[in-house]
Structure 1
Amino acid sequence: MSLFSRTGFQQFVEALPGTSMADQWESSVAKVGDKVFGLITDAENRLTFKVSEESFEILTALEGIEQAPYFAKRKWVSVSPVSALTAEEAAEYLRRSYGLVSAGLTRKLRIELGIPL
């Protein structure tokens, strides 16, 4: 199933420990510990996720990837289904986003959510 479909996105993120889904901002939003780590828009099936500063510079130079509206100053990107990223690369970046966001949670909360330390 494609990560660029609502169903595929949901199946992928729900396999990560301590995640939840919410419908907001006309999108399906993936959260860990009530903090957003990714979303897929309902209308265009664009993925949005957090990246490192270095990845932000690299990815936003690629076709089909741009700074995410409202999130860009915090190093988030918006990826079109027809971007230069392969499905495997997009999945890896989404996993990294989960890691970046979950690392900011308290140790106690990570333990409660079953997130490896």
Structure 2
Amino acid sequence: MHLEALRAYCLSLAAVTEDVKWDHDLCFSIGGKMFCVASMEPPFSFSFKVDAEDFQALSAMPGLSPAPYLARYHWVLANEGHTLSSQEIEHRVRESYELIKSKLPKKVLKEAGLL
């Protein structure tokens, strides 16, 4: 999956916003909280949050590693050469979206039209 496909998928999810942070990372958020971050410069890489049970196993897969600065929150970095299929990437990004969404206050969910 390349940046435009990842971007299209992230933006297809309800109430998602995007912005550029740190000059070269495209960040996708729900309720102001990031759920996926992608590099806009080569080599293409992206990060997403996973649940605690999956973190160790995913981090040990080829092309995947704990995300710098975010690993303590169970974020995984996918580099070039990762072995995730497009369907698996969509599943993991959706899971990240749902994990972040589940922690948002009801007021934020209501303002975003998600309640």
2:110 corresponds in structure 1 to 111
Q: Distance in 1 between matches of 2:67 and 2:91?
A: 18
Identity %: 26
Give the SS at the match of 1:63: coil
Aligned length: 113
Q: Secondary structure at the match of 2:65?
A: strand
Aligned to 1:69: 68
Counterpart of 2:27 in structure 1: which amino acid? Answer: V
Range 105-114 or range 41-50, more displaced: 105-114
Q: Report the CA distance between 1:94 and its aligned residue.
A: 0.4
1:16 paired with 2:44, answer: no
Q: Which amino acid aligns with 1:70?
A: Y
The corresponding residue for 1:31 is 29
Report the secondary structure of 2:47's partner residue: strand
Q: Does 1:42 align with 2:40?
A: yes
User: CA-to-partner distance for each residue in 1:41-60, whole Å, 9 max, x for gaps?
Assistant: 12222110100111111101
SS state at 1:77 partner: strand
Q: Measure how far apart 1:82 and its partner are.
A: 2.1
1:59 maps to which residue?
58
Local SS of the residue matching 2:13: coil
Task: Give the superposed CA RMSD.
Answer: 1.3
Partner of 2:81: 82
State how far apart, in whole Å, the 2-side matches of 1:13 and 1:113 are: 16
TM-score, normalising length: structure 1: 0.89
Query: Which digits, 9 at most, give the CA deviation of each residue in 1:74-110, with x for residues without a partner?
Result: 1100012421211110110000000000111112221
Paired AA for residue 28 in structure 2: A
